Structure formats: C-alpha cells, structure tokens
C-alpha cells in the first residue's frame, strides 16, 4: 500500500540528439543536484527524449507518400508525407475523419497519428532551412526502458516507464500513457482480494503504469522536452524482469470500441 | 511549472455513513497527524466516500425494474435491479453486450454501469441480512467538491477533485477520472505557447484533473474505502470559482467513438 509518494523532474537536462547517452545524462543531472537513481524508484521518461536519443527523426521533404497515403491524406485533409509515416508505423486505422487519424500502432496501442510528433522534432544539428521534421516513437520502448533500467541499476532494483501523451475517447485533453515498461508489473490485479465487507472486489484491475504516466505527464508539463524525466519515489512494487507495456493493450476482439 | 509534488493519503479515516461530516472528519484526521489542509493543496476525494456521506445507498431488494430494464438485463445477462439503477442514472447506452453495460451518465461522462458500485456498498448501520446494497455516484460532484473546498478553506485557496475509477476503450485496467472539480481549471490549454523551436505547440490540451485523479487512484489503492482522501502538494494553479468536471466531457457530436 502506498501512503506517500513524491515526484520530481530531473533538473537541467540538455536538448537530446541522436546517439546521446540518456542514462548518463540523467545520472549526471541527478548527481549535480546531489541525488541518484535509488532502489525502488520509478523513472518516467517521455517517449520524445527516448526517440531523440535513438535518432527517430524524419525530414518530411524526404518522405515519398504511397498511393494509399495520398488517398488517405485527401480523406483526412492531412499532409501526405505525415500520413505515409503514420501508416508505416501502424497496423490499422481505428477512426478517420477530416483532421483526425487514429490508428492501432505497431506496438499495440491506439493513438492519433501513430504518436508522431511535429513539435520540437528537429535534431539539434539540423541544417538551417531543413525540415519540417517529424519524430517517430521509439523503435522498441520496452527494450529502451529495460536498457535504461540496467544502466541506472545493474541489479534491476528500479523501474523505468516510457510515456507518451494520448488523447482519449469521450474525454477532453491528453493524459500520459505507458508505452514502454521495465521492472514493474504495469497492471495490478486485485481480483480475489476481499473488500471491507468480505465480498470479492470487482473492477479491480488497476493500470498502474498508466496511473504513473499520468502523474509524470502532470509534472513533465506540456512542452515535454523541458522536463522529460520524472522520478517517482514511494511506489511499492515487486521487481519483475518480464514486464511489457503490451499488457496494457486490450486485444481487438475484447474491445467494445474497436 | 511543477518541479516537485508530493501526494499522501489522509490516515485514519473511519468508515463513512450517511450524514457524516466529511470535511470535519478529514480535518480531524489531518490534525491528528499534525497537518491541515493548506493553501494550494489539491484534495482528492473518492466518489465512494462522498456518496456514502450523501447516503446514496440503494438496497437492491427494494428496486422494481421497469420493462426496459428487464429487457436490457436479459440482453446483457445482468441483475435487472442493478440495470434499473444504471438506467435511472443515465441519459443513454454507449455499448452493451453480455456482461458489459457502458452508458453516458447524467453527469456527462461515459462509464460502465453508471459508476454504480456493489463492493463496500452497505451503509454502516445496515440491518443484518439486508442487501445486497449498491452505491450510486454523488448527486452533484461539482457541488460536493465546492462545499468541501469552502469547508476546508473559506477563502477558497485550495482545490477539491472528486474521483472515480474508469475503465477505458483499448486499454486494460482502470485509472482515476475526475467527476467533480472545484477551485482549479480541470483542463489546461497550452495552445498558443511556443515550443523550443518557436513553432506553435500541438496536442496541447492537458486533462489536468484526470492526471491528478490517476495519481490519487494510485495512492488510494483499490479498495478505496481504505484511503479515500489523498492530499496533493506542489501543483501550481490559479484558483477559479467556476470549475466543473463537465469541462472534461467531450460533446457527443465531437467524438469519434460515440
């Protein structure tokens, strides 16, 4: 049971580019403030900073849209080069209409524009006049999270979550969602526990990694390059080595809104 | 910009029944630990404890299902008395199938079973052998939040959010959602701010009250009668007097999944 937790942004991180050692940058920034990744910490890392370190930049002027992308772009009135990138990252379209393209990402979740970002998306060494630039999501966020976890604690005694901001059906505004997880079970199943009156609890699968992602989104702020790494202390969890953000993705055939 | 926040559960709250003074109970519990609601705090209160204080208990054996409820209950294979309560709290059905009934609640949001809870739902003074009991959501959670806000700080210098746990399309597990808000704008609109490269930010409406609700759900735990009130410190917000959780509900005609 959690009784108290704290969350803080890692201060003073630079703008990250392809090939930068994110783990070392965070460790250095924490050390400068007299801190370090600790046993039991959950380190929340935005997809954007992970993607930048992985060099997931795409210059739109170098993208050649397929026929399918051209047709879909006409339908949603979007940039065909962006639509091409979206399709290349997706396994299917969930909803489309003018100005909106929601897809099932190759990583399993459903999100607008396959999570491709057009803000703060240029590499630090972009030539003047180049672009516009897009930034794709990390290649394998679970693996990225696991690499960071081991870099920070070779004994694996902390957890790492890669987050993105998702829009949602029915509700206004974005919240954080976990798209990569290492070191902690992303879903907590309380089924079988008894409630205060001895009845079996219902509705008792909590999306813990998404709860944490929402918290870190709140702290990271919106222009998330500014505070892209958030440390959460006080979460009690049993370390695991087989976590995946895919545990948070409901199968298509079990979804009322597929 | 938030750089650090902390969240903790108010310790030692009793099981609440109809007519209990929730504001006084929380103030007393905080005082016992040497604390008090402070300027700038956000107090997160589960719908369940608010509903219990408001006496929103319903004994299923006293509910008479309508013809519509009987038919719908056959279709989803649910308890007709529960379905009757769900319909009485709803303006429409969003999705239905065996074992699942998702509705648009009269308060504007979309949720399973109209948020009616069958766990920990008996009043403290329930007669032996009575029940089973159901607990409806609070009558007007925005108003409940505002009453609590003024009880804790007559100057209004804190915010109160009433939370519930929602399932979600596409994703496994529940997260907290704000169903009542007082004192802070539930949605933060960053549109018009510039990103690090001078481009206008996209996707920049953050569902702040839902981010906070996810955080408090994480701290409150699942059997939420146990830690039903969570204090969040470190959120920077401008106090407002006209907040409503309805700001988080997307209009039906703007929703791709309606």
Q: What pLDDT, on the 0 to 100 scale, is given for residue A202?
A: 53
**Domain CATH number, residue A83:** 3.90.1660.10
* Domain span including residue A88: 58-134
Asked if residue B79 is part of any domain, the answer here is yes
Q: Element (H or E) spanning B86, and its range?
A: helix B80-88
Asked if residue A97 is part of any domain, the answer here is yes
* Tokens representing residue B64 in the block: 């008479």
CB contact under 8 A, A173 and B248: yes
Asked if residue B256 is part of any domain, the answer here is no
| ipTM score for this prediction | 0.94
Q: Are A49 and A9 in contact (CB under 8 A)?
A: no
pLDDT grade for B194, boundaries at 50, 70 and 90: low
Hey, which residues does B165 pair with through a beta bridge?
Answer: B176
Same domain as A224, residue A170 = yes
Asked if residue A256 is part of any domain, the answer here is no
Same domain as A190, residue A124 = no
Same domain as A30, residue A145 = yes
Asked if residue B168 is part of any domain, the answer here is yes
Q: What pLDDT, on the 0 to 100 scale, is given for residue B169?
A: 95
Q: What angle do CA A149, A155, A156 make, to 5 degrees?
A: 35
pTM of the model: 0.95
Same domain as A166, residue A197 = yes
Q: Are A50 and A141 in contact (CB under 8 A)?
A: yes
Nearest Cα to Cα of residue A74 among A111, A101, A46: A101
Can you tell me the distance from the alpha carbon of A66 to that of B208, in angstroms, rounded to the nearest whole number?
39
CB contact under 8 A, B196 and A2: no
Same domain as A164, residue A216 = yes
The answer, for A211 touching chain B at a CB cutoff of 8 Å, is yes
Instruction: Please report, in tens digits, the pLDDT of each residue of chain A (258 residues total).
Output: 778 999 999 999 999 999 999 999 999 999 999 999 999 999 999 999 999 999 999 999 999 999 999 999 999 999 999 999 999 999 999 999 988 899 999 999 999 999 999 887 899 999 998 989 999 999 999 999 999 999 999 999 999 999 999 999 999 999 999 999 999 999 998 766 555 455 555 557 899 999 999 999 999 886 544 799 999 999 999 999 999 999 999 988 878 998
Q: What pLDDT, on the 0 to 100 scale, is given for residue A126?
A: 93
Q: Are B94 and B104 in contact (CB under 8 A)?
A: yes
Q: Are A136 and A89 in contact (CB under 8 A)?
A: yes
Asked if residue B120 is part of any domain, the answer here is yes
Same domain as A184, residue A108 = no
Q: Helix crossing, A22-32 with A141-152: angle to 10°?
A: 40
Number of domains, chain B: 2
Residues 130-169 of A with CB under 8 A from B: 165, 167-169
Asked if residue B258 is part of any domain, the answer here is no
CB contact under 8 A, A225 and B171: no
Same domain as B83, residue B150 = no
Asked if residue B39 is part of any domain, the answer here is yes
Same domain as B198, residue B72 = no
- Asked whether residue B193 carries a pLDDT value surpassing 70, the answer given is no
CB contact under 8 A, A170 and B207: no
Same domain as A149, residue A113 = no
Same domain as B67, residue B5 = no
Can you tell me the distance from the alpha carbon of B255 to that of B257, in angstroms, rounded to the nearest whole number?
5
Q: What pLDDT, on the 0 to 100 scale, is given for residue B221?
A: 82
Domain boundary among B136, B154, B186: B136
Same domain as A246, residue A154 = yes
Same domain as A169, residue A120 = no
**Domain CATH number, residue A182:** 3.30.1330.100
Instruction: Give the nearest chain B residue to A210 (CA atoms).
Output: B175
Domain boundary among B136, B166, B194: B136
Domain boundary among B75, B102, B136: B136
């Amino acid at each position: 049971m959690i009784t108290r937790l704290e969350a803080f942004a890692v201060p003073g991180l630079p703008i990250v580019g392809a090939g930068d050692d994110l783990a070392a940058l965070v460790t250095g920034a924490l050390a400068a403030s007299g801190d370090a990744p600790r046993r039991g910490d959950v380190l929340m890392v935005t997809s954007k900073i992970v993607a930048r370190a992985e060099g997931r930049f795409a210059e739109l002027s170098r993208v050649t849209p397929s026929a399918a992308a051209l047709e879909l772009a006409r339908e949603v009135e979007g940039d065909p080069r962006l639509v091409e990138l979206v399709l290349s990252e997706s396994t299917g379209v969930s909803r489309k209409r003018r100005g909106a393209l929601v897809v099932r990402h190759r990583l399993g979740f459903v999100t607008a524009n396959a999570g491709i970002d057009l803000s703060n998306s240029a590499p630090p060494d972009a030539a003047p006049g180049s672009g516009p630039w897009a930034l794709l999501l990390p290649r394998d966020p679970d693996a990225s999270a696991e690499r960071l976890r081991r870099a920070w604690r070779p004994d694996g005694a902390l957890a790492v979550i890669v987050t993105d901001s998702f829009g949602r059906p029915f509700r206004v505004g974005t919240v954080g969602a976990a798209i990569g997880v290492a070191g902690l079970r992303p879903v907590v199943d309380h089924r079988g526990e008894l409630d205060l009156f001895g009845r079996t609890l219902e509705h008792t699968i909590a999306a813990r990694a998404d709860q944490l992602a929402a918290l870190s989104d709140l702290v990271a702020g919106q222009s998330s390059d500014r505070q892209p790494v958030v440390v959460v202390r006080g979460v009690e969890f049993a370390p695991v080595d087989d976590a995946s953000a895919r545990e948070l993705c409901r199968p298509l055939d079990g979804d009322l809104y597929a």
